[in-house]
Amino acid sequence: MTLRRLLIELLSDAPRSVSSIAREMGLRRGDAEEDLRHALRSAVAAGHRVEVIPARCKDCDFVFGDDRLSKPGRCPACKGSRVFEPQIRLRHDAPSG
Helix (H) or strand (E) holding 36, with range, is helix 29-45
Q: What percent of the chain has pLDDT over 70?
A: 94
What is the average per-residue pLDDT within 27-31? 90
pTM for this structure? 0.81
Q: What is the dihedral of CA 66, 71, 73, 76, to 10 degrees?
A: 20
pLDDT top residue among 9 and 86: 86
Q: What percent of the chain has pLDDT over 90?
A: 61
What is the average per-residue pLDDT within 62-86? 93
- Residue 96 pLDDT > 60, yes or no? no
Predicted local distance difference test score (pLDDT) of residue 97: 44
Predicted local distance difference test score (pLDDT) of residue 1: 64
Domain boundaries, the chain: 3-92
